[in-house]
Chains A and B, each alone.
Chain A
């Protein structure tokens, strides 16, 4: 399945948002995900499936004023 994750095209076998997040960050807290521009609440990550062509943003805390 081809996804765009944080601007990078990736070919991946992961199926759920949860699995995708675990594959790119170890952070337990402070992570948020949007798929195709819509927020995917953390509580629904395990049951939210990804589809070919999805555009995913995985965000976390950065220094900023």
Chain B
């Protein structure tokens, strides 16, 4: 596999080279965020929608200057109704039909509310959105989301910001097998090896926010994530060796000296 075969279609948008999507939440400053975005070589970054007085200026001009595309989210929404309204506002604000659909079920875990999520996804797909839902690692729910027309599914490896990595790798593989749309591992990544694992499990892309923005050195972690996603993807397509219970010598016994 060459990296030139990297294009990934996500409904009406695509990733041309990098399979790393960066979340912009959690950064200490716009300058730190900018350095991380540049270092990650991402093409697509998430943004939230907040009141102008709370949001602070400068984010969108900076993203425009860097030439990265914007994936608005519905962060903080707890009902389908709220999420649909937020998505429509985001479409008007950012002139994109892309939406990272989040409908949270619980403040402590920030895990998705599957019932509300599916409801919102159906409405937004019918309304012409390219819906990228943040979902749980439930293969059945992922399939239902794909069935209603979501352009991808984005299962959580573990709760948002937890850094616990991929707690159920088997389910991520099941999701990969049960949908025909791209699978983006979203949430829970703690470090580069988690991102590599996601790609080795067959995910098409990885979305990382806190693991980069809250790292001691966000720029260095952004570089690590970039390499991890490439390495994981190459390893997946290269085909790993089967796991064995016992050793299998790589060096032939033939021609060994006899004493």
User: B residues near A, CB below 8 A?
Assistant: 23-27, 33, 46-57, 59-60, 63-64, 70, 72-73, 75, 85, 88-90, 92-94, 160-161, 187, 207, 209-210
Complex Cα distance, B93 from A42, in Å, reads 8
Q: How far is the CB of A48 from chain B (nearest CB, A)?
A: 13
Contact status of A27 and B85, CB under 8 A, knowing A61-B49, A64-B25, A65-B73: no
Residue of A nearest to B57 (CB): A27
User: A residues near B, CB below 8 A?
Assistant: 6-7, 24-27, 29-34, 37, 39, 41-42, 57-65
- Chain B contact surface mostly: mixed
Q: Are A31 and B52 in contact (CB under 8 A)?
A: yes
CB-CB under 8 A from A6, the residues of chain B are 51-54
Name the contact of B23 in the complex, choosing from A25, A30, A58, A64 (C-beta under 8 A). Answer: A64
Complex Cα distance, B84 from A37, in Å, reads 12
CB-CB under 8 A from A62, the residues of chain B are 47-50, 54-56, 59
Give 18 pairs: A residue, B residue, CB < 8 Å, sorted on A: A24-B53, A29-B64, A32-B89, A32-B93, A33-B89, A34-B85, A41-B92, A60-B51, A61-B48, A61-B59, A62-B56, A63-B27, A63-B33, A64-B23, A64-B25, A65-B75, A65-B161, A65-B210
Complex Cα distance, B89 from A60, in Å, reads 9
CB-CB under 8 A from A60, the residues of chain B are 49-52, 55, 60, 93
Q: Are A59 and B49 in contact (CB under 8 A)?
A: yes
Q: Are A63 and B53 in contact (CB under 8 A)?
A: no
CB-CB under 8 A from B26, the residues of chain A are 63, 65
Name the contact of A63 in the complex, choosing from B24, B64, B93 (C-beta under 8 A). Answer: B24
Contact status of A65 and B85, CB under 8 A, knowing A6-B52, A30-B94, A60-B50: no
Complex Cα distance, B25 from A62, in Å, reads 8
CB-CB under 8 A from B75, the residues of chain A are 64-65
Complex Cα distance, B116 from A37, in Å, reads 19
CB-CB under 8 A from B54, the residues of chain A are 6, 62
